[in-house]
Amino acid sequence: MDDEGQPEEDALSIRFLEFMEAERNASPRTVEAYRRSLAQFRAWMGPRFSEWHACASGDFRSWLYDALNRELKPATIRLRFAALRSFYIYLMRREGLQANPLENVALPKAGHSLPVHLNLHQMEQLLSLPLRTPPDKKSPPWLPYRDAAILELFYSCGMRLSELVNLDADALREDEDCVRVLGKGRKVRIIPVGDYAREAIARYREMAGVEPRGPLFLSRLRRRMTGRSIQLMLDKYLRCSDIPFHISPHKLRHTFATHMLDAGADLRSVQELLGHASLSTTQIYTHVTKARLKEAYLKAHPRADWEQGE
């Protein structure tokens, strides 16, 4: 057992996780989620677990029923089983497994909650906060300009947190209006950068003396920022705002996509900008814009709602 009370990884799961990382180009976050899911199932099985080849459909159904009885969210359950399904497909293709015990295990349907996003007023307020909030006296003077550049770039490009953290200084040259982003599956995409973001980044780079090679966004110790430090930065500005819900980098990505569609961008273009492999992933944002259009219609049209007109 490891320090968390979970069984140590076995040779098969180690080879699978190495395969996911090296051959499937899975992100570190995905690899860690898969590792955790496999360990959770083995810990739940306890002494009944002998080897992965010996696990039967009934074992996985029992684990599913246990998760449902503990009222885990359908999305959490589906994520755990996604790891197991990928693992067993790997075992069949690479490790000689004859039958997949998960083939006939039915999962609960995933919910389709709409993405939370900031409205235009909230977004503009957030963008203005780094240069309006009194700075920490112990922080370097360029720190608020770095925060402003990060927020402007998030809103300008809609990139993922991992993509922004991994940006090097040469990914965005001062004489260009695009940024080169390394996305999921190690795919490179080119995203246009708006004037506000480019100006904010140029100002920050000059004040902080960012080297032309190396990380673009620096911590106060002049190391590459982490995703955690960016979330803490957002939390700080949230406390200075009147935004009534928690902000995450992913909500800024939702905001970018929703505002683009609201302004008339086509779905295919937004898909390319977000780096979605499938158009269906991007289509969830159309539900947000349709709901807003309907609300505006009901408020504005004199014959939209008969009950209000009576």
Active site residues: 160, 184, 250, 253, 276, 285
**Strand, coil or helix: what is 218?**
strand
CA 270/CA 285 separation, integer angstroms: 10
What are the DSSP calls for 49-73, one per residue?
---GGG--HHHHHHHHHHHHHTT--
Closest CA to 148 of 217, 210, 211, 215: 217
Radius of gyration of the chain (CA): 23
**Strand, coil or helix: what is 190?**
strand
- Which CA distances in Å does 17 have to 10, 52, 294? 11, 15, 46
